[in-house]
Structure 1
Amino acid sequence: MREISLPQGYSSLLSIYETQKAIGLLKRLFEDKLSGALRLHRVSAPLFVSADTGLNDDLNGVERPVSFDINGVKETAQVVHSLAKWKRMALKRYDFQPGEGLYTDMNAIRRDEELDALHSAYVDQWDWEKIITREDRNVAYLQQTVKAIVQALADTQYFLRSVFPQLSVLPRMSTEVTFVSSQELEDLYPALTPKERENAFVKDHPVTFLMGIGGKLHSGKPHDGRAPDYDDWDLNGDLLVWDSVNGQALELSSMGIRVSPESLDRQLTLAGCDARRDLPFHKQLLAGQLPYTMGGGIGQSRVSMFLLGKAHIGEVQCSMWDEANIQACKKAGVTLL
């Protein structure tokens, strides 16, 4: 049985029912803050899509989607991994204009996820996407958006602490964001693994946006995997915060400016995914028939963990766990929902 690391002497700041109330309040607050800051409108989104459309997210290219048949439907259905591509299609369908966007509750199953205190087979996110102009496809616009999201998170934390004073023992989330590229991180810590680099840097910079994920670094390896057909690898990143409960960097969001026809063409070739060019989504994008967009996913359970001071993601969501997680939580006094 593998070892699951949980903090010694941990005790939840909220009871189980208080946790449920806090999660409900947190989600309402943050949705309002996020939609107001980025001009987003709430829409409904699919739990599954046709496997033939190319709309499902391939993540690192090795994860197996949950597939099933539907009575009377010829196509095979796939439970989504994320909605990165679907959202871009939806923006065109809804005839949104530059500066406007959408957000939705995204629920997914990632059956191949390695389960631990931060990773579950069940994924819940605020997925958002907005239309931008070609001129907005730059680092400055990306960083401006990141700062708006961080402010929304900090405002949510501030209100939560007024309702649940026991949360005040947690560090206040800073609105100062440190921007660093994955290549700069590799140059700083060449002997460390990508996760070790994140921990070393974020410990001293508790709100960090790590930019440029997906392409190969000078070492010949990418910092982390990223599918070639949604984010532009030069204009994306992960929002990382310092998790004081677990003593490690915690990724709250993956986001970026999406691929243009030119960057999609380049990244498909670099990733060895040229066969995708014949899929409906990719054909439209390569032909310039989809709007320029930016977007991302913000983990609902991850944000809840961070703002409520939880040690295990199973304290803020219902999922299924292997024996290693169950025993580690029992030993540490962690109550899984």
Structure 2
Amino acid sequence: MALIIPANYDPHLTVRETQEAIKYIRDTFQKEFGKEMHLERISAPLFVTQSSGLNDNLNGVERPVQFDIAAIPGETVEVVHSLAKWKRMALKEYGFNPGEGLYTNMNAIRRDEELDNLHSCYVDQWDWEKVITKEERTIETLESTVQTIFKIIKHMEHEVWYKYPQAVKHLPEHITFITTQELADRYPDKTPKERENLITKEYGCVFLMKIGDKLTTGEPHDGRAPDYDDWQLNGDILFWYEQLNCALEISSMGIRVDEKSLEEQLKKAGCEERKNLPYHKMLLNGELPYTIGGGIGQSRLCMLLLDRAHVGEVQASLWPEDMRKICKEHKIVLL
């Protein structure tokens, strides 16, 4: 996506007011989120060892930031892409039971991200994970959890409206559920991104389900790592975003792989060698709890609720100089 400059853009808040609003949204959301979802806040790592297999491989082509640590010779250390696998290990290590879960502040560097209005090389999200029983690995569990998260985001709209009525974005009343195959059948001549935009514009907010596996066309809707989400039980929460005339992804989430789906998905992705990594061995041996989890973008949520044109208005990151210059000329102040 190239840089988009909305016509007659007005951020409504000064930079300092924006900073105050960012803090208010983050503080309020995580408190509400933890309470409604029955999650405890825990501390999480910024980096993991490559040999642990705990890093999120995303689409398998992104390069993690790597370095070594003098006191731990022979190990390559990677800045996390996300905490998708680490959280599940933490639930086991800390003795969480079904119905209990955790959330954490996750910070990552994604060096291969294409920088535009929605994408930054700095990622900040609330990563969360909850223990469920094997019987709860169902579409019903997934949809019920999505409804709860949507309700919390909708409640945040009202909270922000009380403090910043001139700046808040009004969100749709409901979230609509649709699978990637249903979407492909509906718009067979469109690209996956075009389909997402069309369906989200129509309904305002959708949960797009079953991402990662091949559609009847032989191609997947989008890439998804084979070793954390179950491709039949996952999805993205998308809001229609008028400022940029596109769908805005706020959360990627899902019920995590069990022994069977991990085996199948590693085979489909041609990554069967991962079965020898410590994390994958534990999962295949049934040593890890069954879980549901995901990430909710902190800057994306602030951007959505404050109706901003660029993610750089609500987070401090690096941007090309020409992008900074063009943005500044149109009242888009990148932090």
TM-score range normalised by the length of the shorter chain: over 0.9
User: How many Å separate the matches in 1 of 2:205 and 2:252?
Assistant: 14
Matches within 5 A, 1:180-195: 180-195=178-193
Aligned to 1:41: 40
Whole-angstrom CA distance in 1 between matches of 2:71 and 2:156: 45
Q: Name the residue aligned to 1:64.
A: 63
Q: Which of 323, 329, 332 is equivalent to 2:327?
A: 329
1:184-203 alpha-carbon deviations (Å, 9 max, x no partner): 11111111111111111100
Compute the displacement of 1:330 (Å): 2.9
CA change 1:83–1:3 in 2 (3 A) is: closer
Indicate conservation of the 8 Å contact 1:68/1:76, yes or no: yes
Contact 1:215 1:233 in 2 (8 A): yes
1:176 Cα deviation from its structure 2 partner: 1.3
How far apart, CA to CA, are the structure 2 residues paired with 1:93 and 1:3? Answer: 43
Is 2:130–2:292's contact at 8 Å kept on the other side of the alignment? Answer: yes
Q: Deviations over 1:90-116 (max 9, x none)?
A: 000000000000000000000000000
Q: Percent identity?
A: 55
- Give the aligned partner of residue 310 of structure 2: 312
| Separation in 1, partners of 2:2, 2:149 | 34
One-letter amino acid matched to 1:134:
K
Once the 2 structures are TM-superposed, how far is the Cα of residue 243 of structure 1 from its aligned partner?
A: 1.1
1:60 Cα offset (Å): 0.3
SS at match of 2:167: helix
Regions of 4+ moved over 2 Å:
323-328, 330-333
Q: Which residue of 2 aligns with 1:87?
A: 87
Q: After TM superposition, give the deviation of residue 333 of structure 1 in Å.
A: 2.3
Please give the secondary structure, in 2, of the residue aligned with 1:200: helix
**Any conservation in 2 of the 1:132–1:294 contact (CA below 8 Å)?**
yes
Gaps of 5+ in 1: none
Distance, in Å, in 2 between the alignment partners of 1:108 and 1:273 is 24
**By how many angstroms is 1:175 displaced?**
4.0
1:145 aligns with 2:145: yes
RMSD over aligned Cα, in angstroms?
1.1
1:167, distance to aligned residue in structure 2 (A): 2.5
CA contact (8 A) 2:258 2:290 kept: yes
What is the rounded CA distance, in whole Å, between the counterparts of 2:26 and 2:41 in structure 1?
A: 13
1:54 maps to a residue whose letter is G
Is the contact made by 1:5 and 1:328 (CA closer than 8 Å) also made in structure 2?
Answer: no
**CA displacement at 1:3 relative to structure 2:** 4.5
Q: Please say if residues 3 and 324 of structure 1, whose CA atoms lie closer than 8 Å, have aligned partners that are also in contact.
A: no
Q: Post-superposition shift, 1:324?
A: 4.6
Question: Partner letter of residue 187 of structure 1?
Answer: D
Query: 1:50 matched to which residue of 2?
Result: 49
Query: Normalized against structure 2, the TM-score is what?
Result: 0.98
Which residue of structure 2 lines up, in the alignment, with residue 204 of structure 1?
202
Deviation track 1:231-290 (CA, whole Å, cap 9, x = no partner) reads 000000000001122221100000000000000000000000001000000000001000
Q: Give TM-score scaled by structure 1 length.
A: 0.97
C-alpha offsets along residues 107-127 of structure 1, whole Å, 9 cap, x if unaligned? Answer: 000000000000000000000
- Which structure 2 residue ranges, 5 or more long, are not aligned? none
Distance 2:219 2:323 in 1: 31
Which residue does the alignment assign to 2:114? 114
**Displacement after TM superposition at 1:332 (Å):** 2.4
